[in-house]
Chain A
Amino acid sequence: MTAAKVAGKNGNRVTAMLLLPTTLWFLLLLVMPLVVILVFSLGERAPAGGYQAALTLEQYANLPARLKAFTNTLTLSPLGTLICMVIAYPLAYYLAIKAGRRAKALLLTLVIVPFWTSFLIRTYAWIYILGGRGIPRLLEMIGIEDLRLINTPTAVLIGIVYGYLPLMVFPIYVSLEKLDKGLLEASSDLGANPVRTFLQVTLPLSAPGLITGSLLVFILLMGEYLIPAILGGGKVFFVGNALVDLFLQSRNWPFGSAVAVALVVIMLVAIALYLSLAGRERGRQDVSII
């Protein structure tokens, strides 16, 4: 919208033409649906399902009925993001700083390879791995009995980390790769041991990658549907699953819309909080989101 405004002000036709597709895309596919959802969320469910015009906050008052979906999403998404960070950082560090050229190429390929197969299929594979004949069977052999993994929060978390790890690895890898290795030598030369060098130079300078990666993973996780549907088996469900249920099963569009609006609001607040915290930590440096 701002783009259109700027173009109009300048009266620059070329700029306007160039920005037209983006603007249309933006208006048609982002703004309009949002407006529709907002309007729906203030309406009522038609007797046969769907939307019936009204002006009421009843749907929002009803939100606590889906509290479980929200608490699941709001615990497992940040937790999943955190675990991804913890696993991805050392991997990215090794790739960017320690690995030789050949090892680097091989490992980067290995990180990408899973994308060659459908995410759905890969997630289905985890049903088997986590199911009765998978890991629990192996654990039985060494004496750990009656361990249930599938359809638990742990299973969903494993699926999340598995699916989203590459999204975390790449931004961190890029920021570490860009890091001038001379700075690490300078730090060492000035008397900082390797741990201090990491904390005072490597970590702050790779923070943009860390922030980008965590936002990417977190935002996508907040809207996750597939992993809880498959590995949570209806027992561990996210807001995404609740939405599918509300729109397609019970056809309660107004309530579904209210849930969707609530999710967007929560997400915006969470991201704003995170960025302001990250920004404060990093002083005046810009935080880039890809």
Chain B
Amino acid sequence: MARRNALAMTGGNRERAGGVPRDSSGQSADIEFAGVTKRFGEVVAVDDVSLSVERGAFYTFLGPSGCGKTTSLRLIAGFEQPDQGDVRIGGASVVGIPPYKRPVNMVFQHYALFPHLTVADNIGYGLRQRAPRPTNSEITGQVGEMLELVRLSGFETRRVWELSGGQQQRVALARALINHPTVLLLDEPLAALDRKLRREMQIELQTLQREVGITFVLVTHDQEEALSMSDTICIMRDGRIVQTGGPKELYDEPVNGYVADFVGKSNFFAGKVVEATGTGAAVELEGGRVLSGRRPKNGETLAPGARGVIAVRPELVHVTPTAGPTASQTDVEAPGRVKNRIFLGEHTEYLVGTQELGDILALVPKHVEASDGGFTPGDEVRIGWRTSAALSLAER
């Protein structure tokens, strides 16, 4: 409980001369972009982006490198200024305001801890910059609470380069949180950690966010990380937003093939749209087979004659023995041969080669696998799915 209360106890407004005051209004949006454009020479890093991050949300920018996600974060932090448009924090425009006057703090990708300072001095750095400067005992007290929050009590006098990656990560978090920012910015904070530690820190970050109750804005290229931690994910490509929504929405209702490909795995069947309605579309593949799927909510509209894709999630693909009775729950079927099998613990992933549909990925849960004994590479099988499980999407 002490940990839980650490921030509440030290709460209070952070004031920086000339800066943006915290809690300046009762608005629900903490961060807003209005038509923001940022260019670096010829390259348009952020292209006319408008968005709004709700107070207290865990918001994630997701995309491949070069999609503009880091630039967006740096625009919030103040390391970059927009060429066009307006960036607002807590309702007030921050265009032209330098980073040291903004009520946000950042956890840097490689932590950027000060190598010449101890752990305690690193964490207390933000407090020492305030005017008037808090007394030494105040600083020591707050640093102690922060160390407790990130479970590093007793590490005060350590040098930062003596710490492990995970510990450095926590020092970076504490150093940012001690300032009680309205928004905490996280730039690929887990990229440098190994898989297991990354998983732990994901949970820890999520818990921490609920405890301190401030807005977190995360930048990552790791879709798994984004899906597991975020309330809202903003998928970017080439400086533009492709789709914004909750993890489930992005997974179940991707607006186009790019999103479906980026969030989770999918089987894609590309071809020419032969029929399109408001609720779905049919696509004719190279070989002449026609597949149809439902149109996701807010899905990009398809026009007959244009290119389109049908996407099916691997966990919705059924694998059944050829000899047995036809699985009643599928209405699209194709015979094939198992090419590869990967055991994933709770699931088994099959790669099935088919004549008509190419290679298809299927994810079979353990309990299904156990009942029919599973397959080995070379086995003749039948794959299938329900049309309602397939999505008709615009190509990337």
Which A residues contact B (CB, under 8 angstroms)?
180, 182-183, 185-193, 196-197, 200-201, 204-205, 282-283, 285
Cβ-defined partner of B112 (8 Å) among A186, A191, A197, A200 = A186
Docked-complex contact B108 and A182, CB < 8 angstroms = yes
Report the minimum CB–CB distance from B14 to chain A (whole Å): 8
Q: Report B93-117 CB contacts with A as 1/0, cut-off 8 Å.
A: 0000011110011101010111110
Give the Cβ gap from B370 to chain A, nearest Cβ, in Å: 51
The residue on A at minimum CB distance from B115 is A205
Q: Is B129 within 8 A of A196, CB to CB? A: yes
Of residues 162 through 207 on chain B, the ones whose CB sits less than 8 Å from some CB of chain A are 175-176, 179
Closest B residue to A183 using CB positions: B112
Please give, as numbers and ranges, the residues of chain B lying within 8 Å of A182 by CB-CB distance. Answer: 108, 110, 112
Tell me whether A190 and B116 are in contact (CB under 8 A).
no
Bound: A78/B113 CA distance, A: 35
Q: How far is the CB of A187 from chain B (nearest CB, A)?
A: 7
Nearest residue (CB) in A for B175 is: A190
Task: Pick the residue among B78, B105, B115 that contacts A190 (CB under 8 A).
Answer: B105
| A132: min CB distance to chain B, Å | 51
B335 contacts partner chain A, Cβ-Cβ < 8 Å:
no
Interface size on B, residues (CB 8 A): 25
Assess the A191–B130 pair: CB atoms within 8 A: yes
Contact at B116–A192, with CB atoms within 8 Å?
Answer: no
Q: Is A190 a contact of B108 with CB atoms below 8 Å?
A: no
**Contact (A185, B116) CB under 8 Å given A190-B175, A196-B129:** no
- B129–A192 touching, CB < 8 Å: yes
Within 8 A of A (CB), among B63-100: 77-79, 98-100
Max chain B C-beta neighbours (<10 A), residue from A183, A188, A283: A188
Are A183 and B110 in contact, with the CB atoms below 8 A? no
Q: Tell whether, in the assembled complex, residue A188 and residue B98 are in contact, meaning their CB atoms are under 8 Å apart.
A: yes
Q: Smallest CB–CB gap between A279 and chain B, Å?
A: 13
Given contacts A191-B130, A205-B115, A283-B116, contact A185 B125 (CB under 8 A): no
- Pull 5 A–B residue pairs with CB atoms less than 8 Å apart, ordered by A: A186-B106, A189-B106, A191-B129, A193-B98, A197-B100
Q: In the complex the two chains form, what is the Cα distance from A200 to B99 in whole Å?
A: 17
B contact set with A: CB distance below 8 Å: 16, 77-79, 98-101, 104-106, 108, 110, 112-116, 125-126, 129-130, 175-176, 179
Q: Given A182-B108, A182-B110, A188–B115 Cβ distance below 8 Å?
A: no
Residue in B closest to A197 when the chains form the complex, CB atoms:
B100
A204 contacts B116, C-beta separation under 8 Å: yes
**In the complex, residue of chain A having the shortest beta-carbon distance to the beta carbon of B14:** A191
| A285 interface neighbour in B105, B116, B175, Cβ under 8 Å | B116
Q: Tell me which of A190, A205, A283, A285 contacts B125 (CB under 8 A).
A: A190
Contact of B105 with A189 in the complex, beta carbons under 8 Å: yes
CA–CA, A187 to B79, complex, Å? 12
B100 / chain A contacts, CB cutoff of 8 Å: 188-193, 197
Complex contact B114–A183 (CB within 8 A): yes
Q: How far is the CB of B35 from chain A (nearest CB, A)?
A: 25
A188 touches B99 (CB 8 A): yes
Cβ of A190 and Cβ of B126 under 8 Å apart?
yes
Whole-angstrom CA separation of A185 from B106 in the bound complex: 10
Question: Assuming A182-B110, A190-B125, A192-B129, is B116 touching A205 (CB within 8 A)?
Answer: yes
**Residues of chain B within 8 A of A191, CB atoms compared:** 16, 100-101, 126, 129-130, 179
Verify A186–B116 contact, CB threshold 8 A. no
Q: Name the contact of A185 in the complex, choosing from B79, B115, B179 (C-beta under 8 A).
A: B79
Taking a contact as CB atoms under 8 Å apart, the answer to whether A186 and B108 are in contact is: yes
Q: Closest 10 interchain pairs by CB?
A: A191-B129, A186-B112, A182-B112, A190-B126, A188-B99, A192-B129, A188-B100, A189-B106, A204-B116, A191-B100
